[in-house]
Amino acid sequence: MIKRLPLLDTIVQAYINFWMKMNVKVAIHGNDMLVTPETFPRVHRLKQKALQRLNLPQDYPVYMHLEWDYDAYVVGVDHPVIVLNSYLVQDFTDDELLFVLGHEMGHIKSGHILYYQMVKMIVNRASRFTHALLTAGMQLALFEWARKSELTADRAGLLVCGDTGVACSAMAKLMGVATDAKYFTPSMESIIEQAEGLDMADAQWNSKIIYFIATSLMSHPWLSLRINEIQKWGQTEQYHDVSKLIF
C-alpha cells in the first residue's frame, strides 16, 4: 500500500539523504569514533565476520557512540552507517555482539532502511507536514511494517551468531538486565517461559485487542515476543537449511 503512493519513495528518500548528509552524518563523523582495526579491533573483527556470514558485498562504516544504554541503529539510505552505543559493546559478549551487528546488517540487506527512516521521522520529527502526508491508517501500517521488519532483522542476527540461546541472552540484556547485576540470576528457561506466555498466535480475542492498542504505535515489538519468535524460527527447517550454508 505504501509503495503505491506516487513519488512517496522518491520524496522521502531525497529528504532523508539530505538530512543524513547535513546533520546525522556530520554529527556522527564529528562526535563518534569510527571502528577500524586500530581503534576497536574486537568490533572490527566481529563486523567483518557478520558481513561475511550475511554475504554482504559492501563494507559499511560502524561508529562507536558514548552512551550508557544498550542501543544500536542504522542511519542513511544510499550509504548506511551503523552506530553502536559503547556500553552495549562493553557488556555484550562477542557472540551477542554478532547478533546485534547481524540484526542491523539485516535491515540493510533486506532493504528496510527507507521505510525504517520514515517511521523514525514520524516518531522523532512529527509535524503538521508529516501528519498531512501520512493519514492515521498509513501511520498504523508503517508501524506494523516496522515491527515485522524487526523480526526479520532478528532472524538475520540469529543467522550471524548461530545460536538461539545467544540471541535470547542479548534480548534479555536489552530488557534491562546488566551483566554485573547482583540481583539477577541468569535463567534462559525463565526468560523463554515468560516469552511463550505472550504468544499472540493462540491468545484470546480480548488479549489481541489489548495487544493492538498497546503496540499499534510502537516501532519495535515487545522483547518477549521477539524472544519467542527467535525460538520458534530457530526450530524450523528453513533456519537449519540456511545456517548450514553459513557455518
Asked whether residue 201 carries a pLDDT value surpassing 90, the answer given is no
Write the CA distances from 46 to 50, 97, 192, integer angstroms.
Answer: 6, 8, 27
Q: Let me know: does 230 contact 167? Beta carbons within 8 Å.
A: yes
Q: Let me know: does 74 contact 113? Beta carbons within 8 Å.
A: yes
Give the model confidence (pLDDT) of 91-125 as tens digits.
Answer: 999 999 999 999 999 999 998 877 777 666 665 55
Total domains in the chain come to 1
Domain that holds residue 161: 2-246
Asked whether residue 12 carries a pLDDT value surpassing 90, the answer given is no
Write the CA distances from 2 to 7, 12, 19, 77, integer angstroms.
Answer: 10, 12, 21, 17
Q: Compute the distance between CA of residue 61 and CA of residue 232 in angstroms, rounded to an integer.
A: 32
Average pLDDT in the 74-90 region? 89
Which of 240, 219, 235, 229 has its CA nearest to residue 171?
Answer: 229
Give the model confidence (pLDDT) of 152-180 as tens digits.
Answer: 999 999 999 999 999 988 998 888 765 55
Q: Helix (H, G, I), strand (E, B), or coil: what is residue 33?
A: strand
Asked whether residue 59 carries a pLDDT value surpassing 70, the answer given is yes
Q: Compute the distance between CA of residue 148 and CA of residue 202 in angstroms, rounded to an integer.
A: 18
Q: Let me know: does 77 contact 121? Beta carbons within 8 Å.
A: no
Q: Compute the distance between CA of residue 49 and CA of residue 157 in angstroms, rounded to an integer.
A: 12
pLDDT of residue 65: 94
pLDDT of residue 28: 84
